[in-house]
Amino acid sequence: MATSENISPARPVGSLRGLLSSQRNFKRLQQVIIFIIMAVGAIAMIAPFEWMLATSFSRSANVSMPRIPRFWPADPSFFNYKVAITNLPLVRYYLNSLFVTTTATLGYLFFSSVTGYAFAKGRFVGKSILFIILLTTLMIPFEIRMIPLYLLMRQLHLSDTYAALILPFISGGFGTFLMRQYISAIPDELIDAARVDGASELTIYARVVLPLCGPALAALAVLSALWRWNDVLWPLLVLSNRNLYTITFGLATAGRSQGIFTGVALATSAIAILPLMILYLFLQRYIIKGIMLTGLKG
């Protein structure tokens, strides 16, 4: 054995090195191929947005579009943006969206967590039956109840109010369910200790439970905000007063009625899309974590 090693030491070592490096090369090649596939997909994801931006900065896009798509405007100008902002009260739409989204989301977080706490740690008659009632309706799509809900808003004289956009969404089965699951995992000892100290349930909720619910609350906030911000069906039913339009709904009605001026329409889209995308760049990690925690999307 020892002699054979001495006779030709280079060969086995060399082939081992060759094997290792070919395996490393294979891994590297694999990485390159995966990277190329992912990059092609990523370009397909970004290209429509980039093309939208390029066209929105082109004044001539309203008259004639280049036959070969351009990713950089031939005649860069802010003209389309100026027209978009004078055509539509976009700032007002944004403020409406901000108000509706914030209010509905805060309500959703509050009611979901309070009721979720009761279902997780409370002891009361009918607890499991009430919880099951809540769960059974979880799967029913909103579209199934939207017509009577619209008629109800009319009866309550809430059509064309902020309340109509907010009230139906400040509590929900899913939020309550998620908070109940999350709070159930909090050790009883923490809550019992506070109880022994004479804290009321409301104090325990606010001082002990809520501070421990950060990830769940963040996830729910992301979902609720995306739902409210991007909703178009419900505003379509209950809004006719232009002053109450959200940015998403304002874009929808404008896009459907004045689509012939490509540059202006795409500038309006860019105004509606870009601020949210910039926000997403900063909050991306939390948003993706939230969606992964709940499994639901916007």
User: Interaction with another protein in 70-99: which residues (CB under 8 A)?
Assistant: none
Q: Are 47 and 55 in contact (CB under 8 A)?
A: no
CB of 179 to another protein, least distance (A): 10
Q: Which stretch binds another protein (CB under 8 A): 4-12, 79-87, 98-106, 245-253?
A: 245-253
Residues numbered 30 to 59 that lie near another protein (CB under 8 A) are 30-31, 34-35, 37-38, 41-42, 44-49, 51-52, 55
Considering only CA atoms, which of 123, 178, 204 is closest in space to residue 291?
178
Residue from 88, 109, 114, 166 binding another protein (CB under 8 A) = 114
Report the alpha-carbon angle 104-231-273, nearest 5.
Answer: 105
Terminal CA-to-CA distance of the chain, rounded, Å?
A: 68
Collapsed DSSP state (helix, strand, coil) of residue 183: helix
Q: Which residues contact 145 (CB under 8 A, 6 or more apart)?
A: none
CB of 217 to another protein, least distance (A): 16
Q: Which stretch binds another protein (CB under 8 A): 8-16, 67-75, 83-91, 211-219?
A: 67-75
**Residue 282 engages another protein in binding (rule: CB under 8 A):** no
Residue from 7, 155, 198, 256 binding another protein (CB under 8 A) = 256
Closer CB to another protein, 3 or 27, in the complex: 27
State how far the Cα of 142 lies from the Cα of 32, in Å rounded to an integer: 45
Residue from 12, 14, 215, 259 binding another protein (CB under 8 A) = 259
**Residue 66 engages another protein in binding (rule: CB under 8 A):** yes
- At position 184, the amino acid (one-letter code) is S
How many CA atoms lie less than 13 Å away from 126 in the CB half-sphere? 3
Q: The tokens of 170 are what?
A: 């400040």
Residue from 21, 137, 184, 240 binding another protein (CB under 8 A) = 137
Q: The tokens of 254 are what?
A: 């404008």
Residues numbered 177 to 206 that lie near another protein (CB under 8 A) are 200-202, 205
